[in-house]
Structure 1
């Protein structure tokens, strides 16, 4: 009987990690199924990545309908016998883990993923375990902002507790800016497919330093660091990524790995891939700023492959179906990526210079 994997949504785009995962599974002889609340959401001029799945089912996939979704997938499972249920989209990893647990699939990581998906909950958890954390407070409504000047101070960072991709994250220099940022956060229209922010926020102390991410594979309680990514972030007050470099060098790599791996262990992650963002301070200490219980996104996954020979997407699939992942490095290179952003709204009609510079558009 063929092995099968159920995906809960994808990230849009024909070159997203989810789209690539469907194609890799096909090459490995693995049947893939996708549950989405709206197949047309993925339509683009380049095609629809869901067309690479064996079959696509439509059902509400947001957390507010999780019990109905579980019952629906239990019925599908009687036919398909899913080896794994997963999502490569941060917005759906909690749903996928909850469903995996409900189906009795091992290594679902539900408790750890649920904790990591709340930017307040994991900070509070680690603080209670004795980890040093920057100052932070939970904001359930606009009245909570009044405590920020005394408890956090300025500048500070406000972010939704259940957000993704730095949406509604900004630096604020005073209470007026904080109020404006909070209004933008609670009025964010959503990510499509029925996903909206829950309007809860966290305000943190602003930290100086360079931003990195650690790319980890966890297999049978052993943590493997694929490397660190140097993140180039847009200017104040937002945190849009404009580029990255892999692998990056840290001031104290051994100490940083030990610290990160202790967090992985205490949160009880296993048989998964993690993308952990942190700031490196001038003295070499690191401060975790986000715990992402998912595969790295954007161009980082292909950069890792080009630099090391290890395909993190294929590695995740191997873990999901119960195979031992191949973590042997066959390359020793360095990769960089850049995103080009426009300063105004309009229609892109021409891109010049790629042929002359022999650059690859991707």
Structure 2
């Protein structure tokens, strides 16, 4: 191991961009070591063929991670970088890399973006800002200062878990009370709900220059939470809109000061132009890397790693397809006994990939976070209509066979 250039990964999911990154690193010739806090991953070692060594460690304990790194280096490991493609650990990876003098993404930029209130305040003098207010943790004044409807969120939220729509003052008070109970020592962010189509811009920054790699139209299912169930990668946009997106991305990069690394911007196109909903300092998770690959032939996680080491990323499109990804959620809560329809779904024309995320005996829930999406279908075609139709037809063939749970404990706190 001492003669091999080693990449340390903090955290990984069973599928998606973080796992794709490990495969990409192997293609680039790295010896991959995965630090994970999931014991089940060690028990299912064969599911991670591109991980050369897997180490169980508490990823919330910085000292424990440093001790593991020190031991590896003492044993001759040539650690070239510490990376993460997960929201929970991308900041930690950057900060550890800076501490050890390794190539890394811009740590301060990551920290600013992940502090949703600080980032929202930094945006407020730009044309991309939305009206907002902050309810402080020590304040008894919870009056709404914005026009309804509004979005009430915890600055700690990820995956839509604590992002709630309020269409009435009653909703607003209920959501604030819920978040104050769940996070008693934290502020609450309230934003005006913007009417308009929602998009996602995937961006890679190299040498301080932001490159818009893909624009993705999002389809939102709104019940108790905002759940993205459909993504359409668009090869082209009207020139005027593309210019606005590029200007918006340039503004974000300047505000956060990122010199190298990936980020994505969720935004809406309203009558007042592009309005930023959220920015995250990484490529989107789930199947985003694969969508971009099917659309343009670009492996974004691979180019992100290359950029980290000073190599100019190859972002030239090899092809241009419309790609639509449809996610499948459960209609009821319970224990998964089996999932059927994958073979039939793959037979639908234009379908490129069908993936069942959960295994037998997993506990499924009706969706109240992005983590409650249990399968996806990716289709690629010459038009958005063909790709979407194929993905939705294929997704309709996937069925989760569920043994009903005695009660729905997962919904107790979050129900509106």
Could you tell me the TM-score, scaled by structure 2's length?
0.75
- Is 1:245 aligned with 2:240? no
2:5 maps to which residue? 3
Residue among 315, 322, 325 paired with 1:337: 325
Cα offset for 1:235? 2.2
Structure 1 segment 95-134 matched on structure 2, within 5 A: 95-127=92-124, 130=126, 133-134=129-130
- Unaligned runs of 5+ residues in structure 2 are 356-416
- Unaligned runs of 5+ residues in structure 1 are 189-195
2:370 maps to which residue? none
Aligned equivalents of 1:90 and 1:204: distance in 2? 22
Deviations 1:18-58 (A, max 9, x none): 222222222332111122223326867xx665563222222
**Judging changes above 3 Å, is the alpha-carbon distance between structure 1 residues 344 and 218 closer, same or farther for their aligned structure 2 residues?**
same
- Highest Rg: 1 or 2? 2
SS for the counterpart of 1:323 is coil
Aligned equivalents of 2:37 and 2:180: distance in 1? 23
Aligned equivalents of 1:144 and 1:309: distance in 2? 53
Aligned equivalents of 1:42 and 1:307: distance in 2? 33
- Is 1:157 aligned with 2:159? no
Cα offset for 1:349? 4.5
Deviations 1:275-310 (A, max 9, x none): 111111135x11111111001222221111111111
- Is 1:287 aligned with 2:275? yes
Assess if the C-alpha contact under 8 Å between 2:16 and 2:289 holds in 1. Answer: no
Residue among 47, 62, 65 paired with 1:69: 65
Aligned equivalents of 1:187 and 1:43: distance in 2? 37
Question: Aligned-residue CA RMSD in angstroms?
Answer: 2.7
Bigger Cα displacement from structure 2, 87-96 vs 236-245:
236-245
Structure 1 segment 1-362 matched on structure 2, within 5 A: 1-10=3-12, 12-13=13-14, 15-40=15-40, 49-50=47-48, 52-62=50-60, 65-70=61-66, 72-78=68-74, 79-127=76-124, 130=126, 133-141=129-137, 143=139, 146-147=142-143, 149=144, 151-182=145-176, 184-185=178-179, 199-247=186-234, 249=237, 252-283=241-272, 285-346=273-334, 347=336, 348-351=338-341, 353-354=344-345, 357-358=348-349, 359=351, 360-362=353-355
SS for the counterpart of 2:225 is coil
Aligned equivalents of 1:264 and 1:219: distance in 2? 11
Could you tell me the TM-score, scaled by structure 1's length?
0.85
Number of positions where the alignment pairs a residue of Structure 1 with one of Structure 2: 345
Aligned equivalents of 2:92 and 2:46: distance in 1? 23
Cα offset for 1:263? 1.7
Aligned equivalents of 1:88 and 1:219: distance in 2? 17
Deviations 1:155-193 (A, max 9, x none): 1111221222112111012343234334554666xxxxx
Assess if the C-alpha contact under 8 Å between 1:107 and 1:270 holds in 2. Answer: no
| Larger strand fraction of residues | 2
**Judging changes above 3 Å, is the alpha-carbon distance between structure 1 residues 335 and 228 closer, same or farther for their aligned structure 2 residues?**
same
**Judging changes above 3 Å, is the alpha-carbon distance between structure 1 residues 48 and 211 closer, same or farther for their aligned structure 2 residues?**
farther
